[in-house]
Amino acid sequence: MTEWSALLGLLDRGPGSCVTGVHTSLQPRRDDGHGWPPPSRVRVVTRFVHRPPGDWFLDHGGGDVTLDVRDPADGDGPRQGGQGLEFGPLFPWDLAPSPARLVTPVPSAALAGATCLDRPVEVRRDGRAAWAVTLGVPSLPQPLHLVVDADAGVLLSAGVPGLGYREEVTEVAFPSSVADAVFRWTDDLAAADLAHRARREAAAAHYRAASLPLPGHWPGGRRHFTPDVLEGDPDTGLLAIDLYHDGAPAGTPEMAVLIRQPPHAPPFEPGWVADPEAFVHRWRDGAWQWTLALWGRPLTPDELARVTASLPAS
């Protein structure tokens, strides 16, 4: 038996050691206010290493790495970027999920102002003893569900189930130390980055030599298209095309990316396609699953039908 105030005190103490694990976030995508496009969620997975008080190494996969390391030359000023578990006025679209929100969730105005709706319940998560607690947070329209690690002073998950938002950390470990080299840009990282770049460029060159599967119809016309290969994998058929329709007529989508994948592969969402404020349409044909990501507005159902029907047969 414990109280929320005791759990808040546990979170306030923090892990007191290094933390490694995998952070997974789910956020609902934006719709047009009328349930269109149909609901879908953005899933982002990041492997992380944290060293108190504020050093982070994040590997997002696909060659994308983030380093956030305190440099003595930076002085002792306050760090930017926000580490606590906060929720903005446009929740669930205006937050950037991050392992820091769970591993170092306090200080947090949202948690400080929260009220406990039920007594914390003992649970086990990912093999660890934990407490599940449901909170009322003034800035959230629905209850916030937290799972607090019983020993380490970190959150194992946070979510608002009714709104499709969830963050969790798994495969969590608490090593007593982590080598400095983990938080530096090393020759190994440089070599991996170079290899990723070379693979992307080779794939792009492969597909540029072929005829890209472009829609024959587009709202406002195709004359603004200057399509190019963003990513690709000739072995699987994965192909992401940036349509680059700069200067498109007012009222038409401002940016567009078309993605073709094997039918059962997990969704491939490069760059801003994984921004929950992007509008995303998904469909399948006989051979592929397709994703069309748009910025500014979605296609209407009629427009989408015309665009998908105008794609060349695969």
Report the alpha-carbon distance of residue 33 to residue 30 in Å, rounded: 8
Binding to other proteins in span 15-74, by CB under 8 A: 25, 44, 46, 56, 58, 60, 64-69, 71
Count of residues that interact with other proteins, criterion CB under 8 A: 43
Q: Is 80 in the site for other proteins (CB under 8 A)?
A: yes
User: Judging by beta carbons within 10 Å of its beta carbon (0-12, 13-18, 19+), is residue 60 exposed, middle or buried?
Assistant: middle
Is the Cβ of residue 4 or residue 183 nearer to other proteins in the bound state?
183
Among 11, 6, 9, 15, which residue's Cα sits nearest to residue 106?
11
Report the alpha-carbon distance of residue 155 to residue 168 in Å, rounded: 8
Is the Cβ of residue 82 or residue 267 nearer to other proteins in the bound state?
82
Q: Which position has the token pair 């190494």?
A: 57
Binding to other proteins in span 153-212, by CB under 8 A: 184-185, 189-190, 193, 197
Among 268, 267, 273, which residue's Cα sits nearest to residue 243?
273
Q: Is 213 in the site for other proteins (CB under 8 A)?
A: no
Binding to other proteins in span 229-288, by CB under 8 A: 246, 254-255, 269-275, 277
**Cα angle, residue 210 at apex, residues 252 and 226 outer, rounded to 5°:** 25
DSSP class of residue 196?
H
Q: Is 86 in the site for other proteins (CB under 8 A)?
A: no
Positions touching other proteins (CB under 8 A) are 25, 44, 46, 56, 58, 60, 64-69, 71, 79-82, 96-100, 184-185, 189-190, 193, 197, 226, 228, 246, 254-255, 269-275, 277, 295-296
